[in-house]
């Protein structure tokens, strides 16, 4: 019953997380489109009252007239719309999922027993949890300091963009050296997601509140508040596509179990940012297909890097291919505790990913997948059953 309750909570949290993320990202993309699509107001009266730009749109059977003020409007309504709870809900629900799935079972999901760094391979569960939290906090601190020191007045945003790009490559590399592959991809995405939500919490909303308070007091708002908010919002929009990709990457072991996973991750990050740049410019009336072409090219390079060898497995045990009976015994020993219609491993109410090995037919149908996840050392999770290299070679040499 406990395993079922945990799985149900996971189900509901994931639902909340996805809904909140859709709402937050959708609203963010909409406002970027609106901001870049504004045109000079045609009516003289609008220009006189400080309207910087406007957009006419049609949607859902009605017409909309959006206007942006460069300075304080004559009067602010009491029901001014604010955008922040979607961001906070997305981060909080995502962090709750991380705690429930990864931090509750760190030896399975966080620790990489095959890490190149010996201390990382030998981490205990609580050490992995502490390191994961420090990784998230440290990512935000470094990113925030880069913004404050390189472009405090928003005059060197180009240089700042390069610095943030370098930072993300380092984050990708360090995560793959310290954590298991799946956790590394997730934590890299979480570093960007944490920066996005922290941008809203620490900079965008406080700056907007100061601007609103100044306007209500009849004072001139500090223009730096608006510029900082715009700077962080722009960063958020370029983080969006890479974050979404990294958050769904846990279904695709060919990427996160690769020996050059950090390279694949970096290519995905830059590819997503370049594709997003195309849409940002498109909203401003500039069609530049070179950006999505370059982004797609980087993704294709990632596909090439991650591509497995086309050569069939040649490993043999004692000069002979492994029989199905031998593989079946290994599957029973190392896999069935989790991958069964009724798992005996604590914490599992159902077979992970719906994959069960209760019958010979089920094992035969999953042959290539079994060989892939065993060869990459992704399975068994955390190698909790102590599968040896010889046993992995035997499964690689499994003959029809």
Closest by CA to 184, choosing from 120, 276, 241, 239, is 120
Residues 330 and 286 in one domain: no
**Same domain for 371 and 232?**
no
Does one domain contain both 287 and 334? Answer: no
Q: In angstroms, what CA-CA distances link 224 with 159, 208, 317?
A: 19, 11, 68
Cβ pair 115, 166 in contact under 8 A: no
Per-residue model confidence as pLDDT tens digits over 36-79: 889 999 898 888 888 999 999 999 889 999 999 876 777 788 78
Q: Which of 249, 274, 306 is the last residue of a domain?
A: 306
Q: Evaluate whether residue 85 is within a structural domain.
A: no
pLDDT in tens, 283-321: 888 999 999 999 999 999 999 998 876 554 444 545 578
Q: Are residues 231 and 343 in the same domain?
A: no
How many domains does one find in the chain?
A: 3
- Residue 315 has a pLDDT of 46
321: helix, strand or coil? coil
Q: Specify whether 302 is located in the same domain as 328.
A: no
355 in the same domain as 296: no
Q: Which residue bears the tokens 């997305």?
A: 90
Q: Is residue 210 part of a domain?
A: yes
User: pLDDT under 50 in the chain at which residues?
Assistant: 312-315, 317
Are residues 254 and 193 both part of a single domain?
yes
Q: What contacts 24+ positions apart, CB below 8 Å, involve 370-378?
A: 370/327, 370/331, 370/335, 370/395, 371/313, 371/395, 371/396, 371/398, 372/253, 372/254, 372/308, 373/253, 373/257, 375/313, 376/253, 376/257, 376/258, 377/114, 377/257, 378/180, 378/181, 378/182, 378/253, 378/257
- Do 365 and 270 lie in one domain? The reply is no
230, 299: one domain:
yes
Range of the domain at 125: 116-306
- The per-residue pLDDT for range 21-36, each reduced to its tens digit, is 999 999 999 988 998 8
The reply to whether 258 and 366 lie within a common domain is no
Neighbours of 95 (CB within 10 A): 19
Whether 314 maps to a domain, the answer reads no
**So what's the pLDDT on residue 295?**
96
Q: Can you read off the two tokens belonging to residue 260?
A: 């050059």
270 with 331, same domain? no
**H or E element at residue 65:** strand 62-69
pTM of the predicted model as reported, rounded to 2 decimal places: 0.84
Q: How far is CA 164 from CA 72, 159, 177, 192, 239, in A?
A: 33, 9, 20, 10, 11
β pairing state of 51-59 and 62-69 = antiparallel
Long-range contact set of residues 214-222: C-beta below 8 Å, sequence gap at least 24? 214/72, 215/72, 215/73, 215/76, 216/76, 220/72, 221/72
My answer on whether 284 and 381 are in the same domain is no
Residue 252 in any domain: the answer is yes
Distance CA 345, CA 225 (A): 53
């Amino acid at each position: 019953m406990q395993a079922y309750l945990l799985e149900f909570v996971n189900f509901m949290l994931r639902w909340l997380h996805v809904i909140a993320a859709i709402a937050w990202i959708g609203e963010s993309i909409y406002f970027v489109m609106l901001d870049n699509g504004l045109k000079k107001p045609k009516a003289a009266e609008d220009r006189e009252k400080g309207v910087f730009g406007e957009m006419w749109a049609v949607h859902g059977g009605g017409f909309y007239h959006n206007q942006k003020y460069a300075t304080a409007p004559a009067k602010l309504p009491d029901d001014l719309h604010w955008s922040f709870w979607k961001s906070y809900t997305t981060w909080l629900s995502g962090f709750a999922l991380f705690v429930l799935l990864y931090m509750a079972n760190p030896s399975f999901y966080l620790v990489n027993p095959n890490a190149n760094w010996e201390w990382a391979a030998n981490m205990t569960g609580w050490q992995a949890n502490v390191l994961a939290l420090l990784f998230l906090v440290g990512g935000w601190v470094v990113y925030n300091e880069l913004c404050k020191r390189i472009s405090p007045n928003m005059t060197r945003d180009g240089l700042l963009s390069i610095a943030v790009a370098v930072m993300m490559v380092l984050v990708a590399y360090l995560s793959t050296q310290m954590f298991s592959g799946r956790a590394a991809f997730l934590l890299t995405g979480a570093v960007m997601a944490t920066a996005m939500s922290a941008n809203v919490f620490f900079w965008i909303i406080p700056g907007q509140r100061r601007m609103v308070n100044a306007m209500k007091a009849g004072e001139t708002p500090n223009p730096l508040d608006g510029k900082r908010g715009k700077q962080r919002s722009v960063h958020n929009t370029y983080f969006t596509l890479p974050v979404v990709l990294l958050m769904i990457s846990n279904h695709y072991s060919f990427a996160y179990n690769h020996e050059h996973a950090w390279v694949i991750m970096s290519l995905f990050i830059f590819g997503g940012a370049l594709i997003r740049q195309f849409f940002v410019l498109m909203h401003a009336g500039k069609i530049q297909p070179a950006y999505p072409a370059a982004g797609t090219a980087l993704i294709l390079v990632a596909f090439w890097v991650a591509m497995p060898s086309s050569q069939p497995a040649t490993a043999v045990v004692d000069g002979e291919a492994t029989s199905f009976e031998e593989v079946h015994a290994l599957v029973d020993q190392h896999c069935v505790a989790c991958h069964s219609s009724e798992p005996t491993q604590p914490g599992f109410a159902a077979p992970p990913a719906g994959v069960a090995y209760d019958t010979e037919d089920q094992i035969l149908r999953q042959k290539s997948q079994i060989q892939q996840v065993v060869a990459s050392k992704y399975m068994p999770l955390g190698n909790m059953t102590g599968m040896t290299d010889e046993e992995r070679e035997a499964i690689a040499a499994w003959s029809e």
